[in-house]
Structure formats: C-alpha cells, structure tokens
Amino acid sequence: MDKVYLNGRFLPAEQACVPITDRGLLFADSVYEVIPAYGGLPFRLEQHLARLRRSLAAIRMEDPLDDAHWRAIIAELCADADGEDLSIYIQITRGAYRARAHRIPEPVEPTVIAFASPITARDPRIAEQGITAITLADTRWARCDIKATTLLPNVLAQAEALESGADDAIFVRDGQAMEGTASNLFIVLDGLLITPPNSECLLPGITRDLVLELARDAGIAHAEAAIAESELRRAEEIWLTSSTREIAPVVQLDGQAVGDGRPGPCWRHMDGLFQAAKERIRLAARNRPAEETQDD
C-alpha cells in the first residue's frame, strides 16, 4: 500500500490521517467495501458499488461520489499494479465533528478512504486439503446485512477459531447456520447446492451471487433456503465464499470430517468455473487498450 485516496487527494500512506473525532474511529459509524481487481480490472464493480450504497442508505447516508469518480479512483489505485491482482478497500465514515456525541449530528463532509493491497495467491493446499471450521453462537447485532465496520464480534470469533486450531468459524443463530466470520455459506446436501437466503442476519455476498449464477448456467441443482444446524452437520460439502477467499472448501467441522474429509466433487466443479471467470477478466485486462477507462 503505497498511496491512499483520502477526501479527494492521493497521499503517501504514511501521510493519510483522519481527525481523532472522526465518527468512524469513535463509533465505527461507517461502512466499507472490498473489491477484487484481477489484472487491474475491478471485479463486479457495479454490484459492489450498489452494495456500498445500500449500506450507506441503511445508516442514513448518501454516497458522496458517483460511479465516474469511483472508477477514476480505482483506476488510479490499479495503475501501478502492472497486472497484479489487487484488493481495493473503500471506507466511508460519517465524518469528523467538533465534539463526541452519540446522537447523529447535522451532516458534515464524510470521510472517504480507498487503498489497494495485493491479493495473496491462494495456498495450493486449500484446493488439495481444504480448511477447517468450528461453529459458534452468533453474537453479532441484528443488521448483519449492512457492511459496516462494527466487526469486533467477527474478529473475536475468528480468534476463537484460530485458538481452537481451526481456520474459521460458522455462525449459528436460533438453530440456523448463517455465514462465516467474513464469508457466505454454501452446503451440498443430498446433491443439492444450498445457501441461506439474503436477510438482515447475513451479508448479501457478491461472490455468493456469482456462485449462484455459475450454478444456474452450469445446470447445477441449487436453492436459496435456510440451513438448519443439523443439516450443516450432515452436509456432503461445506463452502465459505468471499471476494478475497473466493470459494474455500471446509473439510472438517467441529473436529468431524465433512464428507470424506477432502474437497468434494461439486466444489471442484464450481472452483473450475470460478477460476475460468477470473481468467476471462485477466484476459480482458491484457487486451484492453491503455487509454480505455477501467471498468468491470
């Protein structure tokens, strides 16, 4: 991360600072997005920006920038990447106020932050061996559909998973499996690919939506339906999906093997479809004239 976009300017990372009274710092009064850019092209940018604006509307804010501004910012952040895959982080806070107060004050200029980081290549062992997970009671607030920076419960759940020797945790609420600490949930049960429907209890995932589209196009039987904890435990396959994790196969849950304890055939099929979609974006990036505006 060499440079940061902050409130209209690109700055060296060490010079990008916000006031101590910024509400994002004091109250986590802010939302964020994480957008992969493969070969310098942002992945599903339109969908990511739509989710950003949905989150802003839910906390009573408007997007301070239009699509053209966001595209220009992301293009600048990708300009020096030399075709490297990047993760673009965007955060918008309610802004800095003169005094700390819980009540939402009259609007001031929001704080807008964006920067890029390299996407770490997937460890090949994940495709060969999968990951492990535990289940934890979902102690988060009731509006998990807002991509807000109020992530302490997620951080603590992931820490508990690591302390137990697992790679991640899956939240269970009222007997229903919801999602991972930073990912959406899929299972394969009796040959059917299932993911919980969008609701206020989980984040509407961009990668989740792509998996559903790929399943539809490939003729893979799938459904959006609630997943009971008992169904999670007898699933033939379990996946966790996110923009940076892509599709991770869970091969062990609470110390018990999922299926035969290896990434399953449905996951291998879907992962192949997903990797092909990524490669199409990289190919488009290599073939795109330099003067064209970067886009999805």
Say if residues 112 and 64 touch (Cβ distance below 8 Å).
yes
Strand order in the sheet with 9-12: 9-12, 3-6, 111-118, 86-93, 30-38, 41-42
Separation of alpha carbons 155 and 168, rounded Å: 10
Say if residues 186 and 238 touch (Cβ distance below 8 Å).
yes
Separation of alpha carbons 220 and 105, rounded Å: 50
Separation of alpha carbons 201 and 178, rounded Å: 7
Catalytic amino acids? Answer: 147
Separation of alpha carbons 117 and 218, rounded Å: 32
Instruction: Give the distance, in angstroms, between the CA of residue 120 and the centroid of all CA atoms in the same chain.
Output: 15
Cα-based distances in Å from 207 to 16, 149, 170, 212: 30, 19, 17, 9
Separation of alpha carbons 73 and 69, rounded Å: 6
Both tokens of 180, joined, read 């991972």
